[in-house]
């Protein structure tokens, strides 16, 4: 099928350059193609963004959760390392989509799901970004209120909590509205500052650490089912970043930087950012005399007096770093769904949605149960999407994409190499739906338990099962129903 696009529309390097992408400048580029000549980022920025963006209480709580499940410190640490490692390996190839397509990963997924089918990825990104932005505001806001109570005796009630959440949300939205250049500059500040503050926390709580034996009162009744649940939760961390990697890698030049350097920087940032913060959560939680429903409340209550102010700084800086990652991503992907809106407008809309989700999660349902249930359910939908995109990158496209034909949806047009059936590639969409259905039926949470939850006798197989079903179905479909996508010439320098 021939494209209906004017070839110069998204790829014209002679068009006027947008304002410089740096700190304090409002980014004007949305999800449209970024020409090679305007790509001014580098792999080290990927490391800074995903390392610094993870140094927040909203990530630390994922190290605290396994301790609340009854696991020991060593078991929790092993679950985090294995889960985060597996998730990072799975999503690593997707860091190369952006440099090849010049756009974000959800638009790039149109090469596998179809230019309209890419809306699946945009929807998943919105859900992940809104959920994790809400968690960032919740945990950092709780830290502010708990610290104010200990330092100044202010009350801990719904009014103060609402105020704390409002402060964190306001700083996140203010930075996210500026866009890429400001976000990257912020993470380069957050990384050393918050890392140093968390290191101080190791000394602050180290005297109370006795090896972290764990309660032995396992959430799922036995060690192995509970430990595997912790692994599955840990995998969700890297998976949540799969759709957003292209938000930053699309600005990296393929001429000046190698694939290896991009993948290495991305994997290092995601793995160490997630693992070290999760380890801090497990370590500190192992020193608490009691475990309540709020990690940060326990942290503030049991911290030595001199460490309360550093906790406030972690809440402000770390919450900002993590929240901005998610709010910026949510704005881009709402724009991808509604191209007539500008990124600044969509960022404001998604910010309001994230705050609304936060208040529901905190004041209407139990926040701890909400985090666990939300992560497991979203994993069931995200894992098959990631698996199909990785298979599409490695097998179906072999790393080659037509950047023009990926933009037809954004321009309100039809046709191109990735049009398939009305803009949907059923070879990918149907296996994704089948994998997601299995994930939904097999997941087991305190808020929802699927009819297949006990298929492996208490072991959660929703994530691995959904991934295997999706990727196997996709590869079989490619074999039996070839796409006949025209080859793409290798990009020239």
pLDDT tens-digit readout, 259-288:
999 999 999 999 999 999 999 999 999 999
- pLDDT value at residue 289: 92
- pLDDT value at residue 367: 57
Percentage of residues of the chain with pLDDT beyond 90: 62
- Label residue 16 by pLDDT band (50, 70, 90): very low
Residue 375's φ and ψ, nearest 5 degrees, are: -65, -45
C-alpha to C-alpha distance for 102 and 175, rounded to whole angstroms? 23
User: Taking every pair of C-alpha atoms in the chain, what is the biggest distance, in angstroms?
Assistant: 69
- pLDDT value at residue 139: 87
Choice between 430 and 225, residue whose per-residue pLDDT is larger? 430
Which 8-state DSSP code applies to residue 491? P
Give the dihedral sign, CA 399/400/403/408.
negative
102, HSE (Cβ side, Cα atoms, 13 Å) = 22
Q: Which two tokens stand for residue 12?
A: 């014209």
Supply the CATH classification number for the domain 36-366: 1.10.4160.10
Q: How far, rounded to the nearest angstrom, does the alpha carbon of residue 55 sit from its chain's CA centroid?
A: 13
Cα angle, residue 230 at apex, residues 224 and 234 outer, rounded to 5°: 140
Is the per-residue pLDDT at 22 higher than 50? yes
pLDDT tens-digit readout, 313-361:
999 999 999 999 988 988 888 887 887 888 888 899 988 888 787 777 6
- pLDDT value at residue 333: 84
C-alpha to C-alpha distance for 181 and 41, rounded to whole angstroms? 9
Q: Which two tokens stand for residue 30?
A: 């949305």
Q: Where are the alpha helices (DSSP H) in 242-318?
A: 246-249, 259-285, 295-302, 308-313
C-alpha to C-alpha distance for 158 and 404, rounded to whole angstroms? 51
CA-wise closest residue to 383 among 452, 335, 319, 438: 438
DSSP assignment of 38-96 equals G--B-HHHHHHHHHHTT-SHHHHHHHHHHHHTT--HHHHHHHHHHHHHHHHHHHGGGGG
Say if pTM beats, i.e. exceeds, 0.75: yes
DSSP assignment of 132-151 equals HHHHHHHHHHHHHHHHHHHH
- pLDDT value at residue 363: 66
Residue 77 and residue 225 in contact, taking contact as beta carbons nearer than 8 Å: no
Percentage of residues of the chain with pLDDT beyond 70: 91
Is the per-residue pLDDT at 464 higher than 80? yes
Q: What mean pLDDT comes out for the span 374-403?
A: 91
CA-wise closest residue to 433 among 110, 104, 113: 113
- pLDDT value at residue 129: 82
- pLDDT value at residue 358: 75
Mean model confidence pLDDT for the chain: 88
Q: What mean pLDDT comes out for the span 417-440?
A: 95
- pLDDT value at residue 410: 81
Cα angle, residue 9 at apex, residues 424 and 18 outer, rounded to 5°: 115
- pLDDT value at residue 20: 59
Q: What mean pLDDT comes out for the span 96-113?
A: 96
Residue 72 and residue 293 in contact, taking contact as beta carbons nearer than 8 Å: no
pLDDT tens-digit readout, 296-305:
999 999 999 9
- pLDDT value at residue 171: 92
Buried b (16+ CB within 10 A) or exposed e, 265-288: bbbbbbbbbbbbbbbbbbbbbbbb
Q: How far, rounded to the nearest angstrom, does the alpha carbon of residue 374 sit from its chain's CA centroid?
A: 13
Is the per-residue pLDDT at 389 higher than 90? yes
| Cβ neighbourhood burial of 121 (10 Å; 0-12, 13-18, 19+) | buried
pLDDT tens-digit readout, 203-250:
999 999 988 888 889 988 889 989 998 998 899 899 989 999 999 999
Q: What mean pLDDT comes out for the span 462-485?
A: 93
Is the per-residue pLDDT at 420 higher than 50? yes
Strand partners, 4: none
Q: Which two tokens stand for residue 160?
A: 């103060």
CA-to-CA dists, residue 271 to 82, 234, 239, 436, 483, angstroms:
10, 11, 11, 25, 35
- pLDDT value at residue 488: 54
Residue 377's φ and ψ, nearest 5 degrees, are: -65, -45
Residue 421 and residue 9 in contact, taking contact as beta carbons nearer than 8 Å: no
Is the per-residue pLDDT at 144 higher than 70? yes
| Cβ neighbourhood burial of 443 (10 Å; 0-12, 13-18, 19+) | buried
- pLDDT value at residue 355: 79
pLDDT tens-digit readout, 39-83:
999 999 999 999 999 999 989 999 999 999 999 999 999 999 999
- Label residue 487 by pLDDT band (50, 70, 90): low
Domain ranges, ordered by start, for the chain: 36-366
- Number of residues that this document lists for the chain: 493
- pLDDT value at residue 277: 97
Is the per-residue pLDDT at 131 higher than 90? no
Which 8-state DSSP code applies to residue 406? G
- pLDDT value at residue 125: 84
- pLDDT value at residue 266: 98
Lowest mean pLDDT among 20-29, 107-116, 297-306, 397-406: 20-29
pLDDT tens-digit readout, 353-386:
887 877 776 666 655 566 667 777 888 899 999 9
Is the per-residue pLDDT at 90 higher than 90? yes
Residue 252's φ and ψ, nearest 5 degrees, are: -100, 130
How crowded is residue 385: how many other Cβ atoms within 10 Å of its Cβ? 28
């Amino acid at each position: 099928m021939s494209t209906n696009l004017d070839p110069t529309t998204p790829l014209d390097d002679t068009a006027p350059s947008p304002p410089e992408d740096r700190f304090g400048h409002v980014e004007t580029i949305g999800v449209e193609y970024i020409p090679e000549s305007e790509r001014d980022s580098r792999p080290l920025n990927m490391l800074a963004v995903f390392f610094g963006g993870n140094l927040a209480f909203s990530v630390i709580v994922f190290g605290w959760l396994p301790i609340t499940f009854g696991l020991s410190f060593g078991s929790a640490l092993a679950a985090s390392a294995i889960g985060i490692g597996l998730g990072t390996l799975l999503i690593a190839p997707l860091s190369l989509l952006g440099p090849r397509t010049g756009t974000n990963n959800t638009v790039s997924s149109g090469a596998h799901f179809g230019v309209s089918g890419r809306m699946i990825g945009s929807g998943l990104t919105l859900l992940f970004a809104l959920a994790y932005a809400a968690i960032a505001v919740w945990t950092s806001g709780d830290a502010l209120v708990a610290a104010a109570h200990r330092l100044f005796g202010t009350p801990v009630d719904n009014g103060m909590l609402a105020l704390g959440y409002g402060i964190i949300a306001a700083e996140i939205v203010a930075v996210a509205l500026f866009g890429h250049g400001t976000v990257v500059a912020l993470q380069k500040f957050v990384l050393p500052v918050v890392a140093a503050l968390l290191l101080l926390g190791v000394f602050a709580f180290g005297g109370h650490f006795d090896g972290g034996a764990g309660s032995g009162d396992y959430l799922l009744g036995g060690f192995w089912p509970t430990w595997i649940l912790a692994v599955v939760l840990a995998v969700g961390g890297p998976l949540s970043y799969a759709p957003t990697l292209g938000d930053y890698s699309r600005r990296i030049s393929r001429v000046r930087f190698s694939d290896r350097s991009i993948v290495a920087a991305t994997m290092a940032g995601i793995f160490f950012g997630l693992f070290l913060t999760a380890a801090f959560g497990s370590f500190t939680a192992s020193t608490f005399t009691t475990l309540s429903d709020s990690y940060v409340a326990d942290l503030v209550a049991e911290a030595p007096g001199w460490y309360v102010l550093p906790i406030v700084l972690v809440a402000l800086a770390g919450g900002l770093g993590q929240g901005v990652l998610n709010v910026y991503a949510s704005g881009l992907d709402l724009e991808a769904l509604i191209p007539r809106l500008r990124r600044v407008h969509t960022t404001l809309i998604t910010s309001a949605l994230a705050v609304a989700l936060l208040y529901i999660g905190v004041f209407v349902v139990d926040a701890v149960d909400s985090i666990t249930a939300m992560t497991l359910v979203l994993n069931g939908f995200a894992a098959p999407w990631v698996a199909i995109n990785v298979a599409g990158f490695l097998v179906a496209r072999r790393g080659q994409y037509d950047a023009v034909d990926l933009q037809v949806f954004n321009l309100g047009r039809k046709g191109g190499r990735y049009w398939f059936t009305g803009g949907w590639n059923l070879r990918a969409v149907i296996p994704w739906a089948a994998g997601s259905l299995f994930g939904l039926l097999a997941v087991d949470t305190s808020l929802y338990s699927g009819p297949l939850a006990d298929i492996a006798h208490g072991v959660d197989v929703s994530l691995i099962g959904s991934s295997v079903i999706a990727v196997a179905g996709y590869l079989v479909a490619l074999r039996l129903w070839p796409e006949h996508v025209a080859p793409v010439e290798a990009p020239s320098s």
